[in-house]
Amino acid sequence: MKRMISAACLAAACLLSGCASNGYESASKVNVIETNYQAADALLKGVALAPGKPILVATLVNLDVLTESSRLGRLFSEQLISRFANRGLTVKELKLRDNLFVKQGEGELLLSREIGEISRVHNAQAVVVGTYATSGSTLYVNLKLVQTEGNVILSAYDYSLPMDENLRGLLRGAKAAQANW
């Protein structure tokens, strides 16, 4: 009888350990697009923007090196643009402009000293800028909606995502991703 109980306990322990997660499995279930859409909505909450007057969205940059980004920064910016456009805001497509600081492989980077001039050229009322930083298990993102007149922050939003292989791949860059194909 003791052997049967021991065997049953061992079998139950084995089955339950099969349900355990290494952290990546649960992290991969995070819907990055939905999370970025929620971030865009939060950024707009309580902010009155002039209808029809455009906004600009810069590529999110690496907090440690503000002149560098990644596929992750570019993708997150694209998802923010999608949400803003689908919410009825006028968003200028910066990739079609040639008078913007576009660093090859990095994206549309708006440096603080250039925001006023770029906004004036595009008649933008506000600019969305953002940064990201990583730790071993978490990606941290900060977004700001900045009024172009006086560089006043109209709204800010911080969020985090658990790091998984998907996010790590976006941070590694295009060459590393192509090597995995």
- Mean pLDDT, 10 residues at a time, the chain of 181 residues: 49 43 50 97 95 93 88 96 96 65 45 62 89 94 92 95 94 56 37
Q: Residue 116's pLDDT is what?
A: 64
Instruction: Name the helix (H) or strand (E) containing 60.
Output: none
How far is 127 from 124, CA to CA, in rounded Å?
A: 7
Q: Residue 26's pLDDT is what?
A: 43
Return all residues near 124 (Cβ < 8 A) that are at least 6 apart.
Answer: 53, 54, 55, 56, 92, 118, 148
Q: Residue 114's pLDDT is what?
A: 59
Comparing CA positions, the residue from 55, 50, 45 lying closest to residue 85 is 55
Q: Residue 67's pLDDT is what?
A: 82
Q: Residue 131's beta-bridge partner residues?
A: 61, 142
Amino acid residing at 86:
N
The domain locations on the chain are: 22-180
- Tell the CATH topology of 22-180: Rossmann fold (3.40.50)
Q: Copy the structure tokens of residue 73.
A: 């920064």
Q: Residue 9's pLDDT is what?
A: 45
Q: Residue 94's pLDDT is what?
A: 75
Q: Residue 151's pLDDT is what?
A: 83
How far is 53 from 16, CA to CA, in rounded Å?
A: 56
How far is 52 from 89, CA to CA, in rounded Å?
A: 7
How far is 114 from 105, CA to CA, in rounded Å?
A: 20
Comparing CA positions, the residue from 32, 27, 31, 28 lying closest to residue 141 is 32
Q: Residue 101's pLDDT is what?
A: 43
Q: How far is CA 143 from CA 42, 119, 155, in A?
A: 10, 18, 8
